[in-house]
Structure 1
Amino acid sequence: MAQNQSEDTGAAPDARPPAKRRIDGIDAARALAVFGMFAVHLGVVSFGLLPEEQGWELHSLVRGNSSALFAFLAGVSLALMTGRTQPVEGDSLRRAGVRILARALLIGLLGFVLDAFAVPVAIILTYYAGFFVLALPLLRARAALLWTAAGILALLGPVVSFLLRQDLFPGGLRTAALTSFTEFFLTGYYPAITFMAFVIAGMAVGRTDLTATAVRIRMAVGGVLMATTGYLGSWLLLNPLGGWDRLTEAHVLNGGSLDSVDPGTAEEARYAATDAAHSISGQVPTDSWWWLAVNTPHTGTTFEIFEAVGQALVVLVVCMLLAERLPRLMYPLTSVGRMPLTVYSGHILVLAVIVALHPQNAAGGPWYLEMFILGSFVFACLWRWAVGRGPFELLLGNFADGAVSVVESARADRERGRGTG
């Protein structure tokens, strides 16, 4: 039976610091993020246990929040790979950078391969790889600086994005999950200008002592406050201060006034504006500044970022507590969370088969979500028991280790050359 492995610190095999106990709660939270994306990709029609009304409520809860949690936990993992509370420096930092770049390269290539299957899903892996690269300059930063950077990006990123897309980079027709640098930074499904706030916030959390009770209490309280701020701030602007009416006039009535239409038409227009806000996939329209007041999923506004990060903090704290107190019960969830790349990629490949066999019914039917989750549990538990690391994770780790060996060998050769020159 394979043994549990500690978190990869990003150091070379011969220069690793003493192994630290793996935090299973992070794996459990990562599994929830992956399952949330399952639910979004398969749609409400795939839910078997829940009636339609509750199914839509679950879909609304996980849409956007699951991808945000996935990015947040990527930041946590980056911090754990690079020293946890004490950022690595010197040779260890260089090796960590090489290892992260190698991982980003392979993850990005995998994302493009999965996208080629033309499954009706916005593949996050290509963006995920880019986030790793953008995070490299912050590997030496400590929690306070990282929280500051995340806060600045959450406040200014949506505004900068709005201005740039309004005047210079309007979004075009999307033919794949990611086709250009403009999509990656601004106009895509997971634009870096706002999604990096999740990654950096996760890095800040990973730079704290996640085993300390005081840290967990601060995370839980801070998470509740952030989520509440995101929700109430948006509600205040959109309802008592009239934001929904202004959006309706700008987006639905093309600048016309609600007072100029009959009450029935006005109500339909307001519903259309609300529906438009819940249908956004990546960034808000630029026909009204009031769009920056919404907090619906995939809008990339300050309020959505605050709410999503707050929820991620609470989810992580709860998962850590449950994983420690109920390890056997949480074993299936932590097993999936130890091989998220394998499980995520596997569900895309299965979806590709379903689409090929039933192109008019890509989501299958009732109970498909439950079957995907159960299949993930069975595979992950058996693989973890028999092998340990997931197959894609094992490949990724070996590729990263090989990249470090190549770079270190080249560096040693250069130093020997200088010494004999």
Structure 2
Amino acid sequence: MAQHQSGDTGAPSGTPSSVARRIDGIDAARALAVFGMFAVHLGVASHGLLPEEQGWALHGLVRGNSSALFAFLAGVSLALMTGRTRPVEGDALRRAIVRIIARAVLIGLLGVVLDLFAVPIAVILTYYAGFFLLALPFLRARAAVLWTAAGTLALCGPVASFLLRRDLVPTAPRTGSLTSLPEFLLTGYYPAITFMTFVLAGMAVGRTDLTATAVRVRMAVGGAVAAALGYLGPWLLLERMGGIDRLTEAHSTFLAGAPLGSMDAWTAERLRENTRDAMHSVSGQVPTDSWWWLAVGTPHTGTTFEILEAVGQALVVLVVCMLLAERLPRAMYPLTSVGRMPLTVYTGHILVLAILIPFQTETTMGAGGPWYMEWFVLGSLLFASLWRYAVGRGPLERGLARCADAAVTVVEERRRENGAR
């Protein structure tokens, strides 16, 4: 099945992937991930088209899933940059590693700079850079190995995190998006012990032939099954097997150790609702006062169920975006344009937020009032489309690529000099 593609893969020249063409559907999915983060950062009150109830529904859908999709697609990009279905080796692998390290350093520095603007969002770029470095040992792995690693981390990572945070690495107050190694690995907004599962799953997908119909069908079916398990598992364990009551007893200060059954029905249900609200307010990892927290599947909880749901949705979204980009390339042009310059668009929206925040009033939520979300999305689509048409690669993406190429040139020259001595 032919996929509508364009020339820039972002792969190192001279590698097998450099002769392959870019899959526009991946860019479209990446744009949706960026817009999902817009929706979370701007808040429900920023919607003009959606009533409040639908705004909250959208917020619940994209919160956590957009950042997971972003990390998943980072893994896909890493695989495409390093050989697609046939991982590069030798000199090509060394050059790819240098490029990835250079990109990671620059993206990490950009994340630190953006964090200094004190915009009240968790900047993902510093974490993102670290994920690139942690992925380096897996660049030569095939899809089966990558899926095995992702599955093992999805099953064992939440338990390991629970034990480590309970006994060895207590959660400290956060003073920025990322301020310490324990935050990066375990206790931060986007902890590596959770998000590397998304990166590894994305790399596994990138190691398959994404233009093959059979591969897409397996992705769609597997994604739907994983998402269903991610949603149904917590419902069964918490609502049907009494987990919500055990969590309420562990979490509620009102009960003070008393069993929930000692309360009247109205009070007991209010306490359960408080626990459900607490489940939805987690931002990184679940508390460690009860093992039942690992049965939760809400966003940013880092449980196996949340990971299953997020990876499943990412697979389905990617398949749908590839099909739409293939069949409606002109209609998808604005969306794929945003996906070609996600670093530029993501950085731009933080800078705009930094300008808007001083003008907030006590009655505004997020970055401002109604229609902010629509203006951010429309502005991104227009800017990216016009820039792509007139210039091509996004400004930050172009600068990042040039710096990475320069790093490769320096390393290669030093190797030649050392070899000549």
Same fold (TM over 0.5): yes
- Please classify the TM superposition score into its range, dividing by the shorter chain length: over 0.9
Q: Which residue number in structure 2 is paired with residue 157 of structure 1?
A: 157
Amino acid aligned to 1:372: F
How far 1:232 moved relative to its partner? 1.2
Give the TM-score taking structure 1 as reference length. Answer: 0.96
Amino acid aligned to 1:205: V
Q: What SS class does the counterpart of residue 282 from structure 1 fall into?
A: coil
Separation of aligned partners in 2, 1:336 and 1:208: 24
Q: Which residue number in structure 1 is paired with residue 204 of structure 2?
A: 204
Q: How does 1:181-200 map to 2 (within 5 A)?
A: 181-200=181-200
How far 1:17 moved relative to its partner? 5.5
Structure 1 residues 194 and 17 mapped into 2: Cα distance closer, same or farther (>3 Å)? closer
Separation of aligned partners in 2, 1:403 and 1:359: 46
Q: Percent identity?
A: 73
The yes-or-no answer on 1:326 pairing with 2:328 is yes
Q: Deviations over 1:95-128 (max 9, x none)?
A: 0000000000000000000000000000000000
1:286 corresponds to which of 272, 280, 288 = 288
The yes-or-no answer on 1:405 pairing with 2:409 is yes
Q: What SS class does the counterpart of residue 309 from structure 1 fall into?
A: helix
Q: Deviations over 1:347-383 (max 9, x none)?
A: 0000000113337545210000000000000100000
Separation of aligned partners in 2, 1:58 and 1:188: 24
Amino acid aligned to 1:194: T
How far 1:185 moved relative to its partner? 0.1
Q: Deviations over 1:27-57 (max 9, x none)?
A: 0000000000000000100011111111100
The unaligned stretches of length 5 or more in structure 2 are none
Contact 2:14-2:92 within 8 A present in 1 as well = no
Q: How does 1:13-412 map to 2 (within 5 A)?
A: 13=13, 19-252=19-252, 253-358=255-360, 360=362, 361=364, 362-412=366-416
Q: What SS class does the counterpart of residue 412 from structure 2 fall into?
A: helix
Separation of aligned partners in 2, 1:68 and 1:311: 10
Give the TM-score taking structure 2 as reference length. Answer: 0.96
Contact 1:6-1:19 within 8 A present in 2 as well = no
Contact 1:25-1:321 within 8 A present in 2 as well = yes
* Matched positions, count: 413
Separation of aligned partners in 2, 1:69 and 1:17: 23
How far 1:4 moved relative to its partner? 4.7
How far 1:16 moved relative to its partner? 6.3
Contact 2:28-2:335 within 8 A present in 1 as well = yes
Separation of aligned partners in 2, 1:234 and 1:53: 23
How far 1:268 moved relative to its partner? 1.2
Amino acid aligned to 1:44: V
How far 1:132 moved relative to its partner? 0.1
Separation of aligned partners in 2, 1:394 and 1:88: 23
Consecutive aligned runs of 4 or more in structure 1 exceeding 6 Å deviation: none
Contact 1:4-1:388 within 8 A present in 2 as well = no
Separation of aligned partners in 2, 1:359 and 1:57: 25
How far 1:262 moved relative to its partner? 2.1
Amino acid aligned to 1:401: D
Contact 2:17-2:82 within 8 A present in 1 as well = no
Separation of aligned partners in 2, 1:15 and 1:83: 7
Structure 1 residues 16 and 211 mapped into 2: Cα distance closer, same or farther (>3 Å)? closer
Q: Deviations over 1:247-267 (max 9, x none)?
A: 001001343211122222211
Contact 1:98-1:403 within 8 A present in 2 as well = yes
Separation of aligned partners in 1, 2:400 and 2:184: 23
Amino acid aligned to 1:183: E
Separation of aligned partners in 1, 2:124 and 2:75: 15
Contact 2:9-2:17 within 8 A present in 1 as well = no
Structure 1 residues 218 and 291 mapped into 2: Cα distance closer, same or farther (>3 Å)? same
Q: Deviations over 1:382-417 (max 9, x none)?
A: 000011000000010001000000011111110001
Q: What SS class does the counterpart of residue 21 from structure 2 fall into?
A: coil
Q: What SS class does the counterpart of residue 76 from structure 2 fall into?
A: helix
Aligned alpha-carbon RMSD (Å): 1.2
Separation of aligned partners in 1, 2:16 and 2:147: 27
How far 1:19 moved relative to its partner? 1.8
